[in-house]
Amino acid sequence: MKKLFILSLLLLVSFCSSEESSSSSEEVVSEEQTVETVPEPDIDIWEAAKNGDIQAIKQHILFGTDLSSKHSNRDNTPLIIAACHGQYEAVRTLLDAGVDINERNVEDVTAQF
């Protein structure tokens, strides 16, 4: 009888410790699955480029906005818009983010023009 009691106690301890280890592994998985989401920027990427709004441009970069997207009837990219408006820091930020400097609009103009 004493052996049965000890065996039951060992099984109970083993069962409780396996639940603790499985719940802690679930916690690790849920922590790993937590992805920080970046809120959508308040202004569009072309307006941010035109105004030289570096914070908005950086937010677009983190948000995953297509930084080479075309805008207006001339298909200007944010880089072309920033360059045309003399927003040098915005140009540098976009180039550092990997935007193609040779991207052309419908008039065959690049940001270098």
Task: Write down the pLDDT at residue 73.
Answer: 86
Task: Write down the pLDDT at residue 58.
Answer: 96
Do 46 and 22 lie in a common domain? Answer: no
Do 50 and 99 lie in a common domain? Answer: yes
pLDDT tier, 101 (very low <50, low <70, confident <90, very high otherwise) = very high
The amino acid occupying position 48 is A
Is-contact 53 89, C-beta < 8 A?
A: no
Hey, which residues does 71 pair with through a beta bridge?
A: 76
Lowest-confidence region among 26-30, 51-55, 87-91: 26-30
Task: Write down the pLDDT at residue 49.
Answer: 97
The residue segments making up the domain with residue 13 are: 1-35
Spatial separation of the C-alpha atoms in residues 64 and 44, rounded to whole Å? 12
Task: Write down the pLDDT at residue 92.
Answer: 97
Six token digits for residue 87: 């927003």
Half-sphere exposure of 83 (CA within 13 A, CB side): 18
Is-contact 72 105, C-beta < 8 A?
A: no
Residue bearing the bigger pLDDT, 108 or 113:
108
pLDDT tier, 29 (very low <50, low <70, confident <90, very high otherwise) = very low
Do 70 and 94 lie in a common domain? Answer: yes
Do 12 and 53 lie in a common domain? Answer: no
Do 21 and 52 lie in a common domain? Answer: no
> In the chain, what are the helix, strand and coil shares in percent, each to the nearest 5?
60, 0, 40
Task: Write down the pLDDT at residue 86.
Answer: 97
